[in-house]
C-alpha cells in the first residue's frame, strides 16, 4: 500500500504555506502526485444591490479574486518544482468543501489545515466537512509548531470501532514507514486483556512493529489524555478515527474528535 495521489487545499488563509510544505514532504516520501486545489469564492451580491453597482466594480472584484488564485498557482508550481514533485494546480469555482471533496474522491489522501482561533477563516469547518463527505482519509496540519518529516514517530489512538479500524487501514503506508508506532488506548473496557494487543498483532503481519500502551484516567477526558501522550512521546503523527458532527456518535470516543482538532500539536490523520 502507498499514497500515489495527494490533494492539498490551497487558500488565502494565513497558514496555507504550512499545508503546502507538509503535502510536498509527503509527496516526496511516497513519490506521489500532488494536486493543489484553490477555490475561487466570488462574493454573492443580491440582485437589488447589483442594479446599484457599476458593472466595472463587480468585474474588478472578480478580476482581483482570480489574480489572487493565479498568484497562489505560481507559488505552488515554484515550490513543487524546487522539491522535484510532480504536481498540478486547479483553480475551481463554487463551494470549497464540495470542490475539494470531488477532487479528493480521486486521491489517496486529503491535506487540510487546523482552524486558528486567532485568525478565523471561511474554511475553518473544512476538515470536519471533508471527514464526513469525502470518503478519504484527511491529514490535518496544525497552525503552529515546527513539524519536521511527518510520520517518524506515530501514535494510533485505538478503540475497537469501525472508524478507528478504518483509520489504521488508511494510514498503513505511514505506519509501514514509521520508525516507531505506539497504539494508545484510553480507559480500555477489557481490563483482563492487554489493550491494543490484537491490532498490534495485525500490524505486525504487515511488518509494523507497534507497541501497545494504555492509560486509565477516568478523571481526564479522552482528548486530553491523547494530547498528553502525544507530547510525552514526541509523536509527529497521530492516527485516529473521526466521528464528525453527531454528538451521539461522538459519545463513543468522548467527543475527542473536535477537541483534538482544536488543540492538536502535531499533524493528525483521521478517517471516518
> How many structural domains does the chain have?
2
Q: Are residues 10 and 117 in the same domain?
A: yes
Instruction: Specify whether 119 is located in the same domain as 182.
Output: no
pLDDT score of 250? 45
Rounded Cα distance, 260 and 33, in Å: 29
Is 260 found in the same domain as 134? no
Check residue 251 and report its DSSP letter.
G
Locate all alpha helices (DSSP H) within 192-244, ordered by sequence: 197-204, 222-232
Burial 173-209 (b: 16+ CB within 10 A, else e): bbbeebeebbbbbbbbeeeeeebbeebbeebeeeebe
Residue 104 grid cell: 479528493
* Residue for grid cell 493543489: 36
The answer on 189 and 65 residing in a single domain is: no
Residue 185 falls within a domain, yes or no?
yes
Distance from the first to the final alpha carbon of the chain: 19
- Asked if 103 and 193 sit in the same domain, the reply is no
User: Of 141, 167, 198, which residue sits at a domain end?
Assistant: 141
Residues 158 and 93 in one domain: no
Q: What is the CATH number of the domain that holds 188?
A: 3.40.50.620
CA-angle at 72, arms to 71 and 74, nearest 5°: 65
Residue 5: beta bridge partners?
33
d(CA 240, CA 190): 20
Helix locations, the chain, DSSP H: 16-30, 47-50, 55-83, 96-104, 126-133, 162-170, 172-177, 197-204, 222-232, 247-250, 256-263
Give ∠ CA 174-178-180 in degrees, rounded to 5: 135
- The reply to whether 113 and 181 lie within a common domain is no
Question: Does 147 map to a domain?
Answer: no
Of 91, 68, 87, the closest CA to residue 13 belongs to: 68
Quote the pLDDT of residue 189.
73
- Scanning the structure block, which residue is given the C-alpha cell 497562489? 72
Torsion 245-247-249-255 (CA) sign = positive
Could you list the residue range(s) of the whole structural domain that residue 35 is in?
5-141
Cell of 227: 494530547
The predicted structure's pLDDT at residue 55: 66
Q: Are residues 117 and 226 in the same domain?
A: no
For 265, other C-beta atoms within 10 Å of its C-beta total 17
Dig out the grid coordinates for 217 from the structure.
Answer: 484516567
Same domain, 232 and 265: yes
The verdict on 215 and 87 lying in the same domain is no
Least Cα distance to 127 among 3, 6, 245, 249 occurs for 245
Give the model's pLDDT for residue 174.
97
Are 253 and 184 contacting, i.e. CB atoms less than 8 angstroms apart?
no
Do 119 and 247 reside in the same domain of the chain? no
- Return the ∠ at Cα 135 (arms to 99 and 156), rounded to 5°: 120
Same domain, 208 and 126: no
pLDDT, tens digit only, all 272 positions of the chain: 799 999 999 998 889 999 999 999 999 999 999 999 999 986 665 555 555 666 676 677 778 888 899 999 999 999 999 999 999 999 999 999 999 999 999 999 999 999 888 888 888 889 889 988 999 999 999 998 776 689 999 999 998 889 999 999 999 999 999 999 999 998 777 654 577 899 999 999 999 999 999 888 777 778 888 999 999 999 999 999 987 544 444 444 446 777 888 888 899 999 98
Give one word for 120, left, alpha or beta, with left for phi > 0 and alpha for psi -120 to 50. Answer: beta
Res 220: pLDDT: 74
Amino acid at each position: 500500500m502507498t499514497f500515489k495521489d495527494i490533494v492539498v487545499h490551497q487558500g488565502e488563509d494565513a497558514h496555507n504555506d504550512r499545508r503546502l510544505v507538509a503535502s510536498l514532504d509527503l509527496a516526496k516520501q511516497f513519490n506521489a502526485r500532488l494536486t493543489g486545489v484553490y477555490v475561487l469564492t466570488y462574493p454573492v451580491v443580491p440582485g437589488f444591490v447589483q442594479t446599484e453597482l457599476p458593472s466595472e466594480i463587480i468585474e474588478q472584484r472578480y478580476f482581483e479574486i482570480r489574480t489572487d488564485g493565479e498568484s497562489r498557482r505560481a507559488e505552488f508550481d515554484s515550490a513543487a518544482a524546487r522539491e522535484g514533485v510532480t504536481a498540478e494546480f486547479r483553480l475551481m469555482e463554487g463551494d470549497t468543501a464540495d470542490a475539494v471533496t470531488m477532487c479528493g474522491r480521486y486521491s489517496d489522501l486529503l491535506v487540510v489545515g487546523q482552524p486558528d482561533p486567532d485568525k478565523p477563516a471561511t474554511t475553518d469547518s473544512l476538515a470536519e466537512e471533508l471527514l464526513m463527505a469525502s470518503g478519504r482519509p484527511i491529514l490535518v496540519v496544525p497552525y503552529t509548531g515546527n513539524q519536521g518529516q511527518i510520520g517518524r514517530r506515530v501514535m494510533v489512538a485505538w478503540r475497537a470501532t469501525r472508524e478507528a479500524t478504518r483509520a489504521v487501514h488508511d494510514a498503513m503506508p505511514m505506519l509501514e514507514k514509521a520508525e516507531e508506532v505506539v497504539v494508545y488506548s484510553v480507559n480500555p473496557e477489557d481490563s483482563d486483556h492487554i489493550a491494543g494487543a490484537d491490532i498490534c498483532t495485525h500490524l505486525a503481519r504487515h511488518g509494523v512493529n507497534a507497541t501497545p500502551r494504555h492509560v486509565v484516567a477516568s478523571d481526564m477526558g479522552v482528548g486530553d489524555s491523547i494530547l498528553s501522550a502525544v507530547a510525552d512521546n514526541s509523536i509527529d503523527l497521530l492516527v485516529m478515527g473521526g466521528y464528525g458532527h453527531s454528538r451521539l456518535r461522538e459519545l463513543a470516543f468522548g467527543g475527542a474528535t473536535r477537541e483534538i482538532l482544536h488543540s492538536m500539536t502535531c499533524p493528525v490523520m483521521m478517517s471516518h
